[in-house]
């Protein structure tokens, strides 16, 4: 199985800050990576797919990038509504696997 | 708009089975696969398997092979996930999630989740 390692596991930042979350795959997954946002008690919501494509309706302050097996989710200007846990997911092979999550808190 | 509506919470005893439903609407049901993903308390999301809603073909995670069965009813645009031989470690929220296009793919719409509690 492909292992997806996210860092950090938690982060605390202020409104307006630039926030970066990293996800590393244990082997090549090309650009077959998605990012999800999950709020407490809710289902995950797709933000980004194919490493950098923004899902429709998602604010443009969210962006994704890739370099080899390392992927990054960036929030350019953190907003109060962005308080959530973020997960990466690879979809190159089965079983589909997810990262351990990054909890983003607002200071 | 795409909607996935799941059945309600369940409480089961160890060794029992549970069947969770996922009613889809707002898109052509048979065109897209449906996945099942679970999340145990404080744990990461865990993929269980998917079904091709068109032809009924399935693929399961080896972890659940032999215990999970995913089926669909095209006339009711509903997908079902049955998990047998339940144990306490199966206590989790179970989600259905629509495949984004070319299986495997991103999961672009999710149901609201169904809490399954396994307790004696």
B76 three-state secondary structure: helix
**Backbone Cα Rg of chain B:** 13
Q: Is the pLDDT of residue A80 over 90?
A: yes
What pLDDT is stored for residue B101 in this prediction?
Answer: 85
The band of B45, judged by pLDDT with boundaries at 50, 70 and 90, is very high
B1 contacts on A by Cβ (under 8 Å):
none
Tell the residue number behind the tokens 């308390």, with chain if given: B41
Q: Is the pLDDT of residue B103 over 80?
A: no
Sign of the Cα torsion B14, B15, B16, B21 reads: positive
What pLDDT is stored for residue A97 in this prediction?
Answer: 97
Mean pLDDT of A56-72: 97
Q: Is the pLDDT of residue B102 over 80?
A: no
CB contact under 8 A, A55 and B108: yes
Q: Is the pLDDT of residue B104 over 90?
A: no
Q: How far is A83 from chain B (nearest CA, A)?
A: 17
Residue in chain A lying closest to B49 (CA): A95
Choose from A3, A34, A95, A98 for mutation: most chain B CBs within 10 A: A95
């Amino acid at each position: 199985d492909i292992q997806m390692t996210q860092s950090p596991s938690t982060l605390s930042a202020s409104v307006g800050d630039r926030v970066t979350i990293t996800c590393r795959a244990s082997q090549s997954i090309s650009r077959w990576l998605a990012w999800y946002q999950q709020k407490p008690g809710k289902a995950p919501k797709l933000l980004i797919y194919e490493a950098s494509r923004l899902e429709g309706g998602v604010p443009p302050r969210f962006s994704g990038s890739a370099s080899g097996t390392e992927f990054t989710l960036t929030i350019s200007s953190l907003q109060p509504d962005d308080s959530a846990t973020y997960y990466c997911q690879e979809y190159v092979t089965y079983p589909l696997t997810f990262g351990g999550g990054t909890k983003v808190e607002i200071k | 708009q795409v909607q996935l509506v799941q059945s309600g919470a369940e409480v089961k005893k160890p060794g029992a089975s549970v069947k969770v439903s996922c009613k889809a609407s707002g898109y052509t049901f048979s065109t897209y696969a449906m996945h099942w993903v679970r999340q145990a308390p404080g744990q990461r999301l865990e993929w269980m398997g998917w079904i091709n809603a068109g032809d009924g073909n399935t693929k399961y995670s080896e972890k659940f092979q032999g215990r999970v069965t995913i089926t669909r009813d095209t006339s009711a645009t509903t997908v079902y996930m049955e998990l047998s031989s339940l144990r306490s470690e199966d206590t989790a929220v179970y989600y259905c999630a629509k495949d984004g296009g070319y299986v495997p793919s991103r999961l672009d719409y999710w149901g609201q989740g169904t809490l399954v509690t396994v307790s004696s």
